[in-house]
Every structure is written in structure tokens, then in C-alpha cells.
Structure 1
Amino acid sequence: MGGEQTPVAGDGTIGKACDVLDQVAAFARPVRFAELLESSDFPKATLYRFLQTLTNQGMLSYDPDRQTYTPGLRLVRLAHAAWTQSSLAPIARPFLDALSAETGETVHLAQLDASQVLYVDKRNAAQPVEMYSQAGKVGPAYCTGVGKAMMAYLDETALDRAVSQQSYHKFTDKTLTSEAALRADLDLIRSRGYAIDDEEHEPGIICIACPILTSGGRMLGAISVTGSTERMNFQQLETWVPRVRRVADQIGTEAQTWRFPETRLNADKDRIQAT
């Protein structure tokens, strides 16, 4: 699985600094300079200069005793603001709670981030199963239910870009490993209205996923119900499809109102003035 974004020409210093932030965060633990240098494309002096600047700005934190770097508290503040203002999580929370309680299974909420899946919220099953996905983690789109559900409803330009940026790494014997196989699956998803993950990312983990769309068909994210093959099969899991689809529709309706309140207010004002 690739967790890296494709560099954009012209991003310059800011883009390079973001690459360093991504690199530090990818370790998921305090990391030493030597470790960063080993996997960095930057020369030693350049990497050190970026680390110093990011630390001075509070984007990274440096522990002088352990000589390690971690994401800084300024990033925590920014992440909280992004979660509140830009993600579907605050809107979807009550719907996730209800769906999780009703199904007793793991529920995921995801959005696309640079053609990959960003898990923005999660509810664990009544009998939790160990799996990769956690809120805040990034995962592949081509072999996860939520990822395929989202890609299937992108416009043509965005879809071509997303498909071209998939890594097609073979996680299991059932992983889709080519663009042709992925596009065929996306066609099937559009025809039936939901996606599945048939142990494509992790052995023993299956899921159904529905896209979250606006009334105009714009894709906002996806929601899934995930189970373990140790205690269920697809026939049992797919009985939840109508419920998951209704929840996705409810979140889409709520998100459209919440994300664009000024549009709604202006429309109400125009309607009043016209009467």
C-alpha cells in the first residue's frame, strides 16, 4: 500500500516541508534524525533545516533527551479544526452510533485523500476484530469497500486520476491487481449501488460499503459495515445493504445543508424577495 501523495510541480518549499511532515507521521512513533535521513530524498543539511523550521513553528516536537521528532501540538490543533470543519465525522456521528448499535458490527466512515482512503471515524463491533483501519489512518482505495464505493462515483476526470494513482499491491489472493479489474468492479458497483471488500485487503475481513452523495450526485465519502468471516458470510452481511444505503443518504442530506449554509440562506432570501 502506498501512503504517499504524488508531488505536484511548483509546490516548492511548502510542498517539501509537507513531505517531511508526512515522513515523520508515517513512522507512527518518535523518530530519530538518522532514520529520517535514511528514507529521505533530501540531503542531510536540507532535511535538518526543514526539521528545525517545522519544530520552531510547532508543527513538529523535538525531545532533546531521546533526540526524536514527533508531530507537534500545532498539528493537533489544525487536525481538530479540520475534523470539525472539513470532515463528515461531526455530521455523521449520530448515524454511525445508531448503525453500529443496530448491526453490532464495525462501522467505518471514510473520505478520499489524494486518491487514497482516509478513515475519519469508526465504531467498533460488539465483538471487536483486529483490523488495519483506525480513525486517522490512510489506506488503499482499490482494495477496500469504502475506497471502491467512493471511486465508483467520481466524475470521469477525477476517476482517471484516482485509478492511475493506485499501487495495485497484492495484499491477499483476492486483491484486485490491475486497472482493468478495478474498472470492471467499479462498473458493477455503480450498477448495484454498493461495494464489497471480499478479503481483498485483509484475510478474514469482509465489508459492504455505500457512497455518500449529495442530491446532485457529488461524492462526499462512504460508509461501511465490516465483519469477520469467522462469524458471518456475505449473504448475512448483505442483508444490511438497504440500511447502510439509507444511512449514507441521510448523511449526504445533512452534509449538504451543513457544508453550504450560506448557499441555502441566499436561496431563502431570493425566494422571499421574489414573493
Structure 2
Amino acid sequence: MNVENRQSGDGTVGKALAVLDAVAAAGRPVRFAALLEDSPYPKATLYRLLQTLVSQGMLDLDPDRGTYSPGLRLVRMAHSAWAQSSLAPIARPHLDALSADVGETVHLAQLDGGAVLYVDKRNAARPVQMYSEAGKVGPAYCTGVGKAMLAFLPEPELEAALARQSWHRFTGTTITDPDAMRVELATIRTEGVARDRQEHEPGIACIAAPVLGPGGRVQGAVSITGPTDRIPAAALEAHIPRLRRAADDITRDLRDWRFPDEREERHDWRHA
């Protein structure tokens, strides 16, 4: 269970969220014994946290199989977060148009700490199996969307994000040195486009552009991805103008978007 030191300073809430993370990360219903094996918590503590999460509807317990999975309350919250907090609803029409124009896989991603969270995806006209799916978390240092976002972070945030990378060598082209990555990110800042040269998955390459909010703050990234045996590097590069236009369109809509007027939407949660 990767709790990223949350249990050290966030008390019971942090521990409960770490357990939710562990169940979600399993990708399938998971038994207590499997959770306990990787848990930093004693058996009794883990059991108590699971029971509380089940009673609150955040987890579902299958009594016949003895497995835990995300509960409907958590699913409802996830849908609400997706609609209100992610770029996905704003970007949807632009992803649709980009996908239709280029015919290749299109991704939308945001940074989650030092990792990449894929928030939306459009499959290619001729789909190919790859790691990325909406809702999955991937590394930032060896993906196009990740590098596109890292390149435009303020220096303190960039250093914090780089410190979180594993620098694992996935392929022969993976950049595993932080200093080499800083050189790469400087090039990306100059060109406005990041490239994944089969750095995360063999045979998969991509180009990516950042989505920047007010003040140039990183809000996400959009990419075009495809198999190298079907899309030569020159053909992928030819999509850069269209990719940039999609990122600019999302940026424009993001800057124009406003929360509902609080005077119209005011609601006292204490009396709900």
C-alpha cells in the first residue's frame, strides 16, 4: 500500500484515504489478506478502517467472497469530481474533434502529485493495446503528457515533482537521470511540445502539448499517441499544429469558464 506518508500526519482520515487508495489500486475486488500484506497498519486497525468505510458506503463488501471494492457513494463522488474539477467536461468537444481529424489515440491528463492521471481518452480508428486508460495513473517522467506538464511547472513545484519520480527504466529510451530530464524539459518549454519516444512502452510514441490556465499555470496536457510500426515519426510530427490548436482551444475555454454565481447557487450545507 503506497500511502506516501499520509498516515504520519493526517490521522484517521489520512489512514482511511490510504485504504481507499489501496482498494482502488487493486483494480479488482480485493480480499482482506491481500490488503493486510501490503498495509503499514496493524490487522485490527486495518479491519476497523475497512468496516468504517463499508458502513459509510465508500467501500462495498461482498460477504460471500470476502472482497472489498469501491462503493456506490465513492462512485457518485468520483463522477461529481470528474464533472466539477477535471478538465474532461471542458475538453470533451476538442478531444472529439482532434480524434476525428487525426484518427489516432488522444489522451487528456492532469498531474496528481508527481504522477499523471489520465482523465479522458479517445481511441484510434484502428485501436492498439496500451497502458493508458481514463482513471489510470502513470509516471510523469517518461510519458508525453507528463513531460508536457512538468516542463511548465514553477521551479519549486518542478523540483518536488522530480523528487517523486521513480526513474525506473521501462525501455532503452527512458530518461532515468534528473539532470538529463531538466535538459529535456528546457527544450519542451522552448518548443511547446513534448515527445514520448517509446520511453514508457516499446513501440508506442506520442506528442503532447500543455493546457495552461490563467497566469500560465499548468492545468493538464493533451496528446496524440500511436504505434511506431504504423505511424512513422515524421507522420506523428505532422500532427503538431493540430495538437497545439486543440490545446489552445481547451485553454481558451478553461479561461472563459466560471463557477456559477454564488448568489444564485448559495446553499447552506448545515441545513441540507
**8 Å contact from structure 1 (residues 215, 253) kept in 2:** no
2:147 is the counterpart of 1:144: no
2:104 is the counterpart of 1:105: yes
Aligned to 1:216, what secondary structure does the other structure show? helix
Q: What's 1:177 paired with?
A: 176
Shift of 1:214: 2.2
Shift of 1:78: 0.5
Q: Distance in 1 between matches of 2:260 and 2:177?
A: 41
**8 Å contact from structure 1 (residues 211, 222) kept in 2:** yes
Q: Distance in 2 between matches of 1:112 and 1:133?
A: 14
Q: What's 1:79 paired with?
A: 78
Q: Distance in 2 between matches of 1:215 and 1:127?
A: 36
Counterpart AA for 1:172: T
Counterpart AA for 1:178: D
Structure 1 residues 113-192: aligned runs within 5 Å? 113-192=112-191
Structure 1 residues 232-247: aligned runs within 5 Å? 232-247=231-246
Shift of 1:6: 2.6
Counterpart AA for 1:227: G
**8 Å contact from structure 1 (residues 225, 244) kept in 2:** yes
**8 Å contact from structure 1 (residues 210, 244) kept in 2:** yes
Q: 1:4 to 1:246 in 2, by over 3 A?
A: farther
TM-score normalised by the chain length of structure 2: 0.93
Q: Distance in 2 between matches of 1:24 and 1:259?
A: 34
After superposition, the CA RMSD in angstroms is: 1.5
Q: Distance in 2 between matches of 1:157 and 1:22?
A: 26
Shift of 1:26: 1.1
Shift of 1:86: 0.1
Q: 1:5 to 1:237 in 2, by over 3 A?
A: farther
Aligned to 2:21, what secondary structure does the other structure show? helix
Q: Distance in 1 between matches of 2:139 and 2:3?
A: 12
Aligned to 2:9, what secondary structure does the other structure show? coil
Q: 1:28 to 1:236 in 2, by over 3 A?
A: same
Structure 2: state its 5+ residue gaps. 263-272
Q: Distance in 1 between matches of 2:2 and 2:49?
A: 18
Counterpart AA for 2:124: A
Shift of 1:5: 5.7
**8 Å contact from structure 1 (residues 111, 220) kept in 2:** yes
Counterpart AA for 2:87: L
Q: What's 1:7 paired with?
A: 5
Shift of 1:260: 5.0
**8 Å contact from structure 1 (residues 5, 114) kept in 2:** no
Q: Distance in 2 between matches of 1:116 and 1:187?
A: 19
Return structure 1 stretches of 4+ with deviation > 4 angstroms: 259-263
Q: Distance in 1 between matches of 2:3 and 2:184?
A: 24
User: Identity, % of aligned pairs?
Assistant: 64
Q: Aligned pair count?
A: 261
Q: Distance in 2 between matches of 1:214 and 1:48?
A: 42
Q: What's 2:265 paired with?
A: none
Aligned to 1:224, what secondary structure does the other structure show? strand
Deviations 1:132-160 (A, max 9, x none): 00000000000000000001001111111
Q: Distance in 2 between matches of 1:188 and 1:12?
A: 42
Shift of 1:58: 0.6
